[in-house]
Structure 1
Amino acid sequence: MGTNTKSDIALTGRTLASVVRHDLPASLVVFLLAVPLSLGVAVASGAPPAAGLVAAVTGGVVAGLLGGSAVQISGPAAGLSLVVAELIAVYGWRATCLITLLAGGLQLLLGTFKVARAVLVVSPAVVHGMLAGVGLVIALGQVHVVLGGAPQRSAVENLAELPGQLAAVHGHAVLVGLLTVGVMFGWNRLPRRSRIVPAPLAALAVSSATALLAGWDVTRLDLSAGLVGWVAPVWPEGDWHGIVAAVLLVALLAGVESLLCAVSVDKQRDGGRSDLDRELAAQGVANIVSGALGGLPVAGVIVRSTANLRAGARSRWSAVLHGLWILLFAVCLWRTITLIPAEALAALLIFIGVRMADLRRLRGLHGHGEIPIYFATMAGVVLLGLPEGVLLGLGLAALSALRRLTGVTVRARPEPDGRWHVLIGGSLTFLGVPRIVAELHTVPPGVAVDLDLNIDFMDNAAFEAVHAWRQEHERGGGSVDVDELHDEWYAMAAGGARMFPAKSPPRDPERWWLPWAHRRGPTLLPAGPSPAGSPPERAGPVPAPDHLLAGAREFHRRTAPLVRPFLHAMARGQDPSHLFITCADSRVVPNLITASGPGDLFTVRNIGNLVPRWGAVPRDDSVMAAIEYATGALGVRTITVCGHSGCGAMAALLDGGEKAAGLPSLGRWLRHGDHSLARFLSGPDAGADEGALDRLCRTNVVQQLENLLTVPRVAELVGRGRLELVGLYFDIPTARVHVLGPVPGLVDRHP
């Protein structure tokens, strides 16, 4: 879903107030962070320092106004510094500006043809590995600047020259670098109130002031070449194949980094998602303008975007204003930049480079087996170069994906009843035939076999292997019962039907929602026919534990493979959005009537879906504990009370407690329903056609919503608009869910 950008641009009165309150302060925070980082990226790229400011202004104003992400900040990105440095070395700075311009045109074309989603096929492991490799290369090169030397052409040469550089005599440059790194490390450990400006700006300010006051011999930044006048880009001289490759490389790297940044920021904020095609087109326009004005390539930057979001930005005006602040600074205060020692910027780049190789990213990659891709890409960037490292990572990711797509699970084991159970899962291709054949031949001859095919594709080689084994096993006196959980690939192949090359999507388990007594299957029910419109008859009484065990086996066979990826992601914690309070009645299945899945509902079930009033007697801590935990620890946004027709608890209230005779605990619990009964007796006789019991069931739901409002925390959250109370009524005979209106009215509607 694309975000609505029109309301961001049109400065209505309400929008202007939001900009002043939220976006203006956020823009100042990002501005203070962007200036030193933009200068650092320019220095790392070997470009004029002013080129970093030009790219920052262009990224903020142009990409901010036209982009499809509301809070993303664009500007010069450290991840592109190696490419820019190589282009400057080969073609010169002015020709590099034209390559940036052409790359922007390609991005604009790709965004216009709406191919942004296709760019996201690049594995995050490759992207993170590339950024880690770039960070290490930047750090290795800038170490030489801090030590008073000059960076070499490659990371390998920088590493080889490092011992000699360390052994040389060092002057004030090392002191400036150590001071900068020390401030960067210590800044975030200060009290929050003391950290008025971002750490990079504070580090440069302290090191610059110290070097100036102490009279240290350091190298100052020179902005005169970039601010004296504009020089038009020139066409690169050289083989056109190399020029085309350079344009493609800049366009794709900048585009991928921008789109991944937009997606990452979307995960951190509420509201509409980014329009990725519009964002890619806007990045193209920004690069056209930046290249024409003599700036670095522009891309979305995650560090500045995250800082913008955390500073409270609500719309794109924060990005635009931050660009305007940088423009004002570059025009009016550019002389202050000349006071910054180049060694301080180098130290800042070392710190940033090491942070780019953040090993915390490995946590997310570990569970998917993509750590080798990460390290291979990083090593390739450091040892071979950026394009070569990215291609190495992409190749390894493709091989890994091919291995997974063609991977097959084969498991054969004996059952207690003497039968053998064989499971073959995955995509059955010729690559898995040796493993399939080896496992199938472990099955003893002459036994009965249940063969489950949990597959989404089967080629001819795999079919021939399975079918030949089945024929051989049956000739030896055994039997093979084939059960295909997805499309019938085996049955179609055996029947001579035409096989389509596409893989089939997984189907939901058949009739998983039926009661046990209505299901057919080898364990639960006989396969014989039953009269039309009537439940199938049992062969005999089936003990309840057998139902549970058979149901668990069915879950393992059919449902577990489908939900396992989701449950694996939720294994470390839950984040439900709803507290669902409903009756313990066996006919009410919350996940069925709400079409919800694991992790959606935090559920409380009791007799009569009752919520005791605050301070009620007899005291009940169970329901109150669930409400406290759901609103305090889980932060649910909705509390739903769901009643149902024909509720036994409400019937007990109507007959004056006779049905609860001999059940003292139930009688005490039903006292919490006295307010519902009183409300029913004093209310109008509306909907008399549905009967007194069902009217009381509906009234009880509305009363429980009122009871929830007696809980102080619930009342406070509802009053602040942080929590919503909803009433549902499930009519069992018609299988309809009705929404009951807010307290105190009773409005009936279908969801």
Structure 2
Amino acid sequence: MRNDAQGVQPDAPPATAAPPGSHKDRKGVAADVGASLVVFLVAVPLSLGIAVASGAPLIAGIIAAVVGGIVAGLVGGSMVQVSGPAAGLTIIVADLIATYGWRVTCLITLLAGLVQLVLGAVRIARAALAVSPAVVHGMLAGVGVTIALAQLHVVLGGAPQSSAVANIADLPHQIAHNHSAAVAVGVITIAIMFTWNKLPSFGRLRPAVVPAALVAVGTATAIATVGGWRVETVSLPDSLADAWNGPVLPAAGQWHGIAVGVATVALVASVESLLAGIAVDRLHNGRRIMLNRELFGQGAANTVSGALGGLPVAGVIVRSTANVRAGAHTPRSTILHGVWILLFVAFFAHVVELIPMAALAALLVFIGVQMVSIAHLRNLRRHHEASVYLVTLFGVVLLGLMEGVFIGFALAMIVSLRRLTKLTVTTEERDSRVHVTVHGSLTFLGVPRLAHVLRTVPEGAQVDLDLHVDFMDHAAFEAIHAWRVDHERTGGAVDIDEVHERWYARSSTSSAPASKTAPGGLARWWAPWGMRRVPEETAREVNPLGLLTAGAREYHSSTADRMRSLMGRLSHGQHPTALFITCADSRVVPNLITSSGPGDLFTVRNVGNLVPRRGTPGDVSVGAAVEYAVNVLRVPSIVVCGHSHCGAMKALLEKAHQEPGDAQTSHMCRWLANGHESLVRAGEASGALAGLPAAEALRRLAQANVEEQLGNLMGYPVVRERVESGDLELSGMYYDLETARVHLLDTATGEFRPVQGVGDPVPHPRPGADGDQLLEESSPGASSRSSC
């Protein structure tokens, strides 16, 4: 179950790891080691390239990669995020180096890390999510374009200019007059980067297994070395003592600029890390990111990196994605990748020094282009935020990083305010009534438009006013209320229906109009139809189809637009967290009792939540669902959920499955025969259920039935193999209808224990917790043996 709407855990405890030495633990270690090697191969060229783009010493990129891997991996709150020097910080760092020098920039990195430590300690990480993703992605895209334009000059054998505009202006001259060996190295690198992952697979040899960055830089280096090409290559210090170039204090008059630089690095690094961590969470099924702990880990990494003379550190989406796709399970992979980088540079520095600078520049050109994400732009366009993205992008490229971000943020605020004031008011006459519909947020800014429309309503008319509003301020309420009083004084009638919150109803309790008609409004979305106010047009003929149609209409008016983006992504495939097997009883709503949403549960429902033993003749639909969920969807969990007041269990107690049944119940009786072993498990044959109250006997049977079905699942080879390998977990659940509480099976004791909510008191079990009376009239098959 999710902790919140975004699946983010601010400060949840770490997930329980597999027991040391277990098969699952050994398999996880092997996967983490393999993933760490892949990320290490990706990180080395990227770290060197980002140091080049920043104008920092090359060893600074290596230091940041090592510290980001080890320190952020040990202290941070993400299971799989990889931290290191980030392309999104290159413009900031380059400007700081040009203004204050490298060693003062190291001090800024150290101080920014301390700021992040404080922010993490005061638990403010979630506030970073208030920054519009359109601004963040636009900033990163602008940085990518700026990097690509600058490094393209290096690829062409020249030198980058002072600004993106100057780089664009000088590009034709570079193309026309520079054709050195560096150009060939750059062209080879870019060509391999673009084509590597598109190459066909040869048996088990797949291009995606080997990082494209490693192949591109390695190939270009090999060709330049073997061919004896005269190109500038990487230069590293002779020893670690020479490599240290740590922080120093700035001049007395520079502290104001230093403070701005510290705030900028801390803010950008924090937002980029947290958003990247949340994005990476969508790629794996492990524990969700702990935001405050991750921010604390990023602060620790930046503090250490600045002290050792490294670049600023942030969570990096490219390396993190490679980590997940390579099979990483825990932070071990992140930590080990930092160790491999340290060992490689310590013992194989001469290999690194063969890399041409033009190859690193070409790698940065490719990365810069990739930072302009068409997918992000397409998603933002659906949410009408593409303008914020584009304005931020061009602002960063043409004016500078801070200026572009400021302009983008200002535009995002304007767009948000415009949405708050967006109001749609429509009128329609039908069946001798005037229907007025209001959509949007009803604030004082929308009162003039609403008042104008209401004044057009004829005197004495019968009016239906539908308020599809998510907010109503006092000025809007007074405008509607005053119009309603005046209209009813002239002989008219007003029926107000509030589809969402009852804004008008709450405000009107202290000042009700004369001959006031009761404002309607719907119950909460999870309430049954019978508890809601049925619209008049549906009430004329209340039937199941009419209710379903009314429900679909309500869904379209209040929910469909909000779900379109989510369902658009899910339409490309499903990756459910669990196979959920439960009863067909209408009172059990799986997504409601697990706080899950679309795409989370692969659900199987039948009478009595039964799983026929493998090989049982008859209905094979449950077996098909199990095989599909385990083999194809690769679900990590299977849950069997029973419930109280179950009609199927009552029919089992009454031996309905032993009777042939008539033409109307024969299928029911044959199906319930699959539950006979549950009666045996509950002790029915030994008379253990005979002297119990009906409610207690029914509870024991329903819970024993859950345990029996879990045993039946283990009879399926695909289930048993994955359970024994540690890749699949079976769980039992029981839902008490009377208390609306969920109970989980404790496999150690065989008892069902209630799930504790935040602040819940410790429950005291009592006999007959399911109630003293069966709701027979609403339970399937609960009308005694005559049902079967």
Q: TM-score range by the shorter chain?
A: 0.7 to 0.9
Paired AA for residue 374 in structure 2: L
Kept in 2: contact 1:429–1:462 (CA 8 A): yes
Paired AA for residue 449 in structure 1: V
Deviation at 1:380, TM superposition (A): 1.0
Identify the residue that residue 330 of structure 1 maps to in structure 2.
345
Task: State how far apart, in whole Å, the 1-side matches of 2:39 and 2:538 are.
Answer: 66
2:104 equivalent to 1:95:
yes
2:371 equivalent to 1:356:
yes
Distance 1:176 1:614, change over 3 A: same
Deviation at 1:347, TM superposition (A): 1.0
Distance 1:459 1:511, change over 3 A: closer
Kept in 1: contact 2:276–2:317 (CA 8 A): yes
Between 1:30-39 and 1:310-319, the stretch displaced more is 310-319
Deviation at 1:155, TM superposition (A): 1.0
2:640 equivalent to 1:640:
yes
Paired AA for residue 640 in structure 1: V
Identify the residue that residue 500 of structure 1 maps to in structure 2.
none
Identify the residue that residue 420 of structure 1 maps to in structure 2.
434
Q: Report sequence identity in percent.
A: 52
2:301 equivalent to 1:299:
no
Kept in 1: contact 2:147–2:364 (CA 8 A): yes
Identify the residue that residue 502 of structure 1 maps to in structure 2.
none
Identify the residue that residue 257 of structure 2 maps to in structure 1.
242
Deviations for 1:291-315, whole angstroms, at most 9, x for unmatched residues? 3332222222121222233333343
Distance 1:733 1:386, change over 3 A: closer
Paired AA for residue 299 in structure 2: G
Is the partner of 1:570 in helix, strand or coil? helix
Paired AA for residue 374 in structure 1: Y
Q: 1:684 aligns with which of 679, 683, 686?
A: 686
Paired AA for residue 72 in structure 1: Q
Identify the residue that residue 130 of structure 1 maps to in structure 2.
139
2:186 equivalent to 1:177:
yes
Identify the residue that residue 537 of structure 1 maps to in structure 2.
none
Task: State how far apart, in whole Å, the 1-side matches of 2:31 and 2:503 are.
Answer: 58
Kept in 2: contact 1:646–1:697 (CA 8 A): no
Distance 1:670 1:48, change over 3 A: same
Is the partner of 1:120 in helix, strand or coil? helix
Kept in 1: contact 2:40–2:340 (CA 8 A): yes
Residues 724-739 of structure 1: pairs in structure 2 closer than 5 A: none
Task: State how far apart, in whole Å, the 2-side matches of 1:588 and 1:278 are.
Answer: 37
Identify the residue that residue 558 of structure 2 maps to in structure 1.
561
Paired AA for residue 661 in structure 1: D
Task: State how far apart, in whole Å, the 2-side matches of 1:250 and 1:515 are.
Answer: 54
Deviations for 1:316-338, whole angstroms, at most 9, x for unmatched residues? 34333332332333333323333
Identify the residue that residue 669 of structure 2 maps to in structure 1.
670
Kept in 2: contact 1:59–1:299 (CA 8 A): yes
Identify the residue that residue 215 of structure 2 maps to in structure 1.
202
Deviations for 1:207-240, whole angstroms, at most 9, x for unmatched residues? 1221122222212233349963544534445554
Deviation at 1:3, TM superposition (A): 5.7
Task: State how far apart, in whole Å, the 1-side matches of 2:359 and 2:657 are.
Answer: 84
Between 1:643-652 and 1:142-151, the stretch displaced more is 643-652
Runs of at least 5 residues in structure 2 that lack an aligned partner in the other structure: 1-8, 512-520, 756-788
Between 1:222-231 and 1:35-44, the stretch displaced more is 222-231
Task: State how far apart, in whole Å, the 2-side matches of 1:17 and 1:601 are.
Answer: 29
Identify the residue that residue 466 of structure 2 maps to in structure 1.
452
Deviation at 1:424, TM superposition (A): 2.7
Q: 1:402 aligns with which of 406, 413, 417?
A: 417
Identify the residue that residue 549 of structure 1 maps to in structure 2.
546
Between 1:581-590 and 1:443-452, the stretch displaced more is 581-590
Q: 2:195 aligns with which of 183, 186, 192?
A: 186
Distance 1:248 1:739, change over 3 A: closer
Deviation at 1:174, TM superposition (A): 1.2
Identify the residue that residue 260 of structure 1 maps to in structure 2.
275
Distance 1:628 1:436, change over 3 A: farther
Task: State how far apart, in whole Å, the 2-side matches of 1:732 and 1:58 are.
Answer: 53
Task: State how far apart, in whole Å, the 2-side matches of 1:554 and 1:654 are.
Answer: 36
Kept in 2: contact 1:63–1:285 (CA 8 A): yes
Between 1:667-676 and 1:648-657, the stretch displaced more is 648-657
Kept in 2: contact 1:5–1:70 (CA 8 A): no
Identify the residue that residue 49 of structure 1 maps to in structure 2.
58
Is the partner of 2:276 in helix, strand or coil? helix
Distance 1:549 1:634, change over 3 A: farther
Q: 2:399 aligns with which of 380, 384, 399?
A: 384
Task: State how far apart, in whole Å, the 2-side matches of 1:289 and 1:737 are.
Answer: 46
Distance 1:308 1:568, change over 3 A: closer
Identify the residue that residue 369 of structure 1 maps to in structure 2.
384
Deviations for 1:44-90, whole angstroms, at most 9, x for unmatched residues? 11122122122222222333333333433222111111111122222
Aligned pairs, number:
718
Kept in 2: contact 1:3–1:272 (CA 8 A): no
Task: State how far apart, in whole Å, the 2-side matches of 1:27 and 1:433 are.
Answer: 60
Runs of at least 5 residues in structure 1 that lack an aligned partner in the other structure: 498-506, 527-541
Kept in 1: contact 2:59–2:236 (CA 8 A): yes
Deviation at 1:684, TM superposition (A): 1.8
Deviation at 1:140, TM superposition (A): 0.9
Is the partner of 1:671 in helix, strand or coil? helix
2:229 equivalent to 1:216:
yes
Identify the residue that residue 527 of structure 2 maps to in structure 1.
513
Distance 1:653 1:700, change over 3 A: farther
Between 1:68-77 and 1:704-713, the stretch displaced more is 704-713
Distance 1:318 1:449, change over 3 A: same
Deviation at 1:16, TM superposition (A): 9.6
Task: State how far apart, in whole Å, the 1-side matches of 2:27 and 2:701 are.
Answer: 47
Between 1:225-234 and 1:207-216, the stretch displaced more is 225-234
Identify the residue that residue 69 of structure 2 maps to in structure 1.
60
Deviations for 1:468-499, whole angstroms, at most 9, x for unmatched residues? 432443344321122445665435555668xx
Deviation at 1:741, TM superposition (A): 8.7
Identify the residue that residue 30 of structure 1 maps to in structure 2.
39
Deviation at 1:587, TM superposition (A): 6.2
Identify the residue that residue 302 of structure 2 maps to in structure 1.
287
Kept in 1: contact 2:734–2:752 (CA 8 A): no
